[in-house]
Chains A and B, each alone.
Chain A
Amino acid sequence: MSSGSGSLPRYIAQRLLLMIPMIWLIVTMVFILLRVAPGDPVTAAVGGKLNEEALDARRAALGLDRPLIVQYLDYLGDIATLDFGKTISDNRPITSIIVDNGGATLSLTIGAFAFALLMGIPLGLLAGRYRDSAGDVVIRIFGVVSYAAPIFFIGLLMQIWVAGPLGLPTSDIASPITKFQVEPVTHILLLDAIIAGDTESTVDVLKHHVLPCFTLGLLLSGVFIRLVRVNLLMTLKGDYVEAARARGIPERYVIRRHAFRNALVPVITVLGLQVALTLSGALLTESTFNWPGLGTQLIDYLTARDYAAVQGLVTFFAVVVVVVSLLVDVINAAIDPRVRY
C-alpha cells in the first residue's frame, strides 16, 4: 500500500507527468505508421501533376530528403511547440485547420455527450430499478439497437423522417447568412453567435446542432444505458445497501443515496473511454450531415492522400483523447476518495 497523502493536487501532478510518455508514444506511432506506408507523401499528393525536379524540390522543402531520425526529432520538436506542421496539397498550417474546424467538432461532440447522458443515465437507472419489467426489456433492446445501428443509417433516417416534421435543417452547422453575419471570436460558432448577441443566429445554429448531436448521442447512449443498468443491479445487491436497509433507511433513500450515486461512478471513467469512440463517430456524423468539423477535413485530406495533413490531424486527435482521459481521472479522484492513492 502506498503511503500517499491522498491529496488531489499531488495526484494531478503525478498524472500530468505520466501524460508526457503517453503522448510521446502516440506521436511516435503515428510517425512510424505513416512512414511505413508505401509511396512518399509528395508523390501521393501531387504526383503526376509535376515533373520529377519539381517533386524533388517539394520533398526538399518538406525536409523529406533528410534521414528519418532527423525528420523524427524535428517532428518531435514541432509537436512539443504545438506545431502540427503544414498540409502538402494546399500548404495550410494544421493548426489553422484545428482552429477553424475544431470548434464545430467540439460543439458536436459535447452536444452528443449531453444527449447520450440525458438519455442513457435515466433510462439505465429506470431499467435497473425495475429489473425484468416490460420497460426494462424495451430499454435494453433500445440500448443494443442504438449502439449497433450504423451512424450514417440513423443519420439518414433522421434526415428523411424526423427533419421534415420538426422543421430541422439536415446539413451544415448554420445557414450561410448566419455564417456570414457572425464574427469568429472563439471559432465555436454557437459561442460566437451568443457573444454577438444575435438571437436569430443562435437559434439557427442550435437548430442545426439538434439532428447531428442526437444521431451521435444515440450511439453513445446505448453504452451508458447498459453500463448504468448493470452497475445499479450490482450496487443494489451490495453489502452496504443491505446494511443501510438494516439501519432502517427507507428504500427510496437507499436507492437514491447508496445505489444510484455509487452506480454512476464508473460512468465518468467510461465517459473518458468513449471519447475515442465519439471522435470516430463524429467523423461519420460529420460526413453524413456535411458538418464543417475536423472529421470532414480529415476525410478530405485522406481522399487527397495528403499524409502531412493526416499525420497532424491524427496526432491532434490522439492528444485530445489523452488529455480528456486525464481530466476524467482527475474528476474521478475528486468524487471517489479511494482513487487518490
Chain B
Amino acid sequence: MTELYDAPVAARDDNAPVIDAQDIRIWYGSERGPVKAVDGVSFSLRKGEILGLVGESGCGKSTIGRGLLGLLPPGAEMDGALRFKGEDLLALPKKEMFAKRGAELGMIFQEPLTRLNPLMRISEHFEETLRTHEKSIGKEEIQRRALEVLRLMGIPPTRYRSYPHEFSGGMRQRLMIALALVLRPAFVVADEPTTALDVLVEAQIIRILHSLRSEFETSLLLITHNLGIIAEACDRVAVMYAGEIVEIGDAREVFSDPQHPYTRELLRSTISLSTTGLNFIPGAPPDLVNPPTGCHFHPRCPDAMNICATRHPVQHAMPNGTRVQCWAADLAHGRAPDLTEDDTAPLVREEISVADEA
C-alpha cells in the first residue's frame, strides 16, 4: 500500500520533509486480541508547517502523537517507516531516542495543570531540561534562554522561581509550551493543547502555536477534535476515522469542499451561532479489535454503496488536491472505473436504532 502515499499533498516547495511517516501501524495488546489503534497512517510535514489531525475520541489521534515520540505505553507495538530529517526513528537505539526527545522532538500535552512537577520550581524544570540535552551549559545561560522563551509566551521573568501551583491553567500551558520550545525542537506534537482551557485562553494558545513557525520554524502536528482550531491555525488537515486517515489535504480545500462523507458530517456537526439544529453522526466509532469489513465508516455513512461493505477503499488524489479514501468520492471523480452497477447501488441495511447507539 505504501506506493499510494508517496508524494506529500500540494508540495509548495522542494523542502525535504522534517517528519515523514509512512504506513504507521500501532497495535495495543488486549484480552480480546490486538487493538488496531492506528492502521496504516501516512503523512509528512515540512519545515514550519502545521498539520491538524482531527477525529472523534478514540480514533487513534493521541496514539499517533505518542508513537512519533516513542512514548507508547508498554504493550504497544509500532511498525511502519518513520523518518525525522531522513533518519529512521524506529530503528534508533533507546538511548539516542531519549536524546532526540525534548531537543528535536517536542510534545505539548492536554492537561497543563498536572504536567509540571508540583515540587519543582519553574526554574528547576528548565534547568533539568537544558542540562539533560546540553551537559556543559552554565546556570546563567540556562536562565537567559529560559527567560527568552518565557518572554515570548508572555510570562514575566519575575515568575521564574515560582512553583507550578502559583500559575493559572492558561499560564501553565504557556509554561509547558515554553518548556517544549526552549531547546528549539524542529518538530512538536501538540495533543489537544486547549481542551482543558477556557475559550479566551484557547484563542491565546492557538495564536502562540500559530506564531511558532515564524519564531522557531517549528513543524507542528496539532491534534484536536475542535475543527475551529484547525481552520484557524493549520495549513493542512488530516481527518482520522477508526485508526485511518480518510481525508488529508489543504485545510481550506478540505473545509470548503470536503470529499469524504465523514469529513462532511463532521463539519456539519460543528456548532456555531448560525446553527439552527444539532447535527450528529448516528452510531458510535467502531470496535478497533474487529473493525467493520470494507470501509470502516460504512455502517454510519449516509452515502454507503454495496461495495463499501465488502472492499476497503484506497486513498486517491482528488481534483482539488486532497487525498481521500472513499468509494463514493472515487466514483464521483472517475477514480474507480471498474465498479459495476451492483457495486454502486445504495447499501441496504437495517436502520441504526437508538438502542444500538447506546
A residues touching B (Cβ–Cβ < 8 Å)? 238-240, 242-251, 253, 257-258, 261-262, 265, 335-338
Contact = CB atoms under 8 A, between A and B. Distances in A.
Given A242-B71, A257-B120, 14 more contacts: A240-B117, A243-B109, A245-B71, A245-B101, A246-B102, A247-B102, A247-B179, A247-B180, A249-B102, A249-B128, A250-B132, A262-B119, A337-B118, A337-B163
Interface residues of B, number: 28
A239 B109 contact: yes
A245 B179 CA distance: 13
B165 interface: yes
B115 interface: yes
Interface string B114-137: 111111100000001100110000
B35 interface: no
Contact of B132 (A248, A262, A337, A338): A248
B84 to A, nearest CB: 14
- 10 interchain residue pairs of minimum CB distance: A248-B102, A248-B101, A247-B102, A239-B114, A246-B107, A243-B115, A240-B117, A337-B163, A247-B129, A338-B165
A337 B120 CA distance: 9
A244 B132 CA distance: 11
Nearest to A238: B114
Contacts of A251: 98
B111 interface: yes
B71 A248 contact: no
Given A239-B114, A258-B117, A338-B165, A248 B176 contact: no
Contacts of A336: 118-119
A248 B100 contact: yes
A338 B113 CA distance: 13
Contact of A337 (B98, B111, B165): B165
B326 interface: no
A253 B132 contact: yes
A338 B163 contact: yes
Contacts of B324: none
B69 interface: yes
B18 interface: no
A337 B166 CA distance: 10
B164 to A, nearest CB: 9
Given A247-B129, A248-B133, A250-B98, A240 B71 contact: no
Interface string B85-108: 000000000000011111100110
Contacts of B102: 246-249
B117 A244 contact: yes
A242 B111 CA distance: 12
A238 B101 CA distance: 18
A249 B115 CA distance: 14
27 contacts: A239-B109, A239-B111, A240-B114, A240-B116, A240-B117, A242-B71, A243-B116, A244-B117, A245-B71, A246-B71, A246-B102, A246-B109, A247-B101, A247-B107, A247-B128, A247-B179, A247-B180, A248-B103, A248-B133, A249-B128, A258-B117, A262-B117, A262-B119, A337-B119, A338-B118, A338-B163, A338-B165
Contact of B115 (A240, A250, A337, A338): A240
B165 to A, nearest CB: 5
Nearest to A265: B119
Contacts of B114: 238-240
B319 to A, nearest CB: 40
A257 B119 CA distance: 10
Max chain B Cβ within 10 angstroms of own Cβ: one of A243, A248, A265: A248
Contacts of B71: 242, 245-246
Contacts of B100: 248
B69 A246 contact: yes
A70 to B, nearest CB: 51
Given A239-B109, A239-B111, A337-B163, A249 B116 contact: no
Contacts of B180: 247
B64 to A, nearest CB: 15
Nearest to A338: B165
A250 to B, nearest CB: 6
B347 to A, nearest CB: 43
Interface in B132-182: 132-133, 163, 165, 176, 179-180
A249 B111 CA distance: 20
Nearest to A243: B115
A251 B101 CA distance: 12
A337 B106 CA distance: 28
A248 B99 contact: yes
Given A240-B114, A243-B176, A249 B119 contact: no
Given A243-B109, A245-B71, A257 B128 contact: yes
